[in-house]
Structure 1
Amino acid sequence: MLRFLSRELHSWRLMHATSNRLVRPTDRVETLVLLTLWVSALAGLLIALTVGGNTYATHKATADVQGPRHSVSATVTTPPKQDDDPTIVVWRRPDGARVTAAVDAERTDRTGRVRIIWLDDQQRVADPPRTATDAVVEGVMAGLGVMMLTVLGWWGLVLLVRAAADRHRMRRWEAEWRDLDIDSHR
């Protein structure tokens, strides 16, 4: 890690921006490309913040407009036969009437298992209520996902640019050593 960091700090010498003839054109191009990658990484950070904020706002708005819901304990009567089949559950309303409904299956559904399901005002099965905490978590996860893609892309491109520049420098160095080689084997 420290070796990578020292290489990065070394690459940002101001010498590359001067007219020093000891700095090769490859070094100047490498510095320009790496500087462009740093600026694009900052742009990626801003995009990640925007995506996270928009995701949060969307999910928060959904949580704010959803209708009231309440939970009920229901007993599984028919577990799913296949993965995409619903589970059949039964529960009793406050007036004592028995209600049967199909709900999304869970892996642990077995006959007789008690599950918590959510009902809306018309006593229909509904999704669990969304909370502000859910909106925050989803916004942060969306932002972190974009940020991770940015970081991995930046890191890969930096390594690629470094490898290409190092390979070019090594070829040039070998050629210069061959030009300076004096027949010293006599």
Structure 2
Amino acid sequence: MRPPDAGTHADRLRRRCGLDGNDLRRRVDRVQWRVGLLLLLLFLVAAPIACAHVVSSVDAAGVRAERYEAATRHRVDATVVGVTQLESGREVNVVWTGADGTPHNGRYTSWRATVVGEHRVLWTGPRHTLGEMGPRKHARTIGDDVSAGAAVLAVTGLPMLTVYLAFRWGCDRRRYRQWDEEWADFDRRSRST
């Protein structure tokens, strides 16, 4: 047996979509197909517009955050002078020398094991806030863009899919009811003959 060619696959897809003019298709089948096509077209129009709007907003906010953090966060080489165990993590006291030669001290919370005398590369921000994370990287902005785009597609598509499934459920009930009525009619006619 030979595998089906591309024409056979296209023909199957055409028939599966209801584009075959089959006289055995009921009106409810055609209506269901049209509603499904309408919802699909609505999704294909609305989703890209909503996705482009949200992703551009998220991207602009991410780029602004990148620039702000690159301008305000600076790398410091600090020495640990004290560690206090907390319920979750550790409070670490450090000292460092600023770019102008003045000594600074500060504290931050860390999850990593730390000992007194250890040298750490930290990042200081406005008002000498400390942290282990450097300025925001562009990869994080791209990740946020992708996540926002996926969320918009889901938020746009799920209501339309729900409407289609509810409509299909109603069509299936009508289809089964018609099927039962036709079988009952067939049974009555076969008994009367």
| TM-score relative to the length of structure 1 | 0.69
| Residues 160 and 116 of structure 1, relative CA distance in 2, 3 Å threshold | farther
Residue 108 of structure 1: how far off its partner (Å):
2.9
41, 53, 71: which is aligned to 2:75?
A: 71
Among 119, 123, 136, the residue aligned to 1:130: 136
Percent sequence identity is: 23
The DSSP-based 3-state class of the residue aligned with 1:181 is helix
Q: State the TM-score, normalizing by the size of structure 2.
A: 0.67
**1:74-104 Cα deviation digits (max 9, x unpaired):** 4372345234x8723303215473x43232x
| Larger relative contact order, structure 1 or 2 (CA cutoff 8 Å, min sep 6) | 1
1:57 aligns with 2:63: no
Match of 2:16 in 1: 10
The equivalent residue for 1:3 is none
Q: Out of 95, 98, 106, which is 1:101 matched to?
A: 106
- Residue 87 of structure 1 is matched in structure 2 by 91
Q: Which residue matches 2:5?
A: none
Task: Find the aligned partners of 1:23 and 1:96 in 2 and give their Cα distance.
Answer: 84
15 and 63 in structure 1: CA distance in 2 versus 1, 3 angstrom threshold: same
The two structures, once aligned, show a CA RMSD in angstroms of 3.7
Q: 1:179: how far off?
A: 1.2
Stretches of structure 1 lacking an aligned partner (at least 5 in a row): 1-5
Report matched runs for 1:27-42 at 5 Å.
27-42=29-44
Q: Distance in 1 between matches of 2:152 and 2:140?
A: 18
**Counterpart code for 1:27:** D
Measured in 2, the distance between the counterparts of 1:7 and 1:107 equals: 55
Give the AA of the match of 1:32. R
Q: Does structure 1 conserve the Cα–Cα contact (< 8 Å) formed by 2:72 and 2:126? A: yes
177 and 58 in structure 1: CA distance in 2 versus 1, 3 angstrom threshold:
same
Deviation at 1:118, TM superposition (A): 0.9
Q: Which segments of structure 1 move beyond 6 Å, counting only runs of 4 or more? A: 6-9
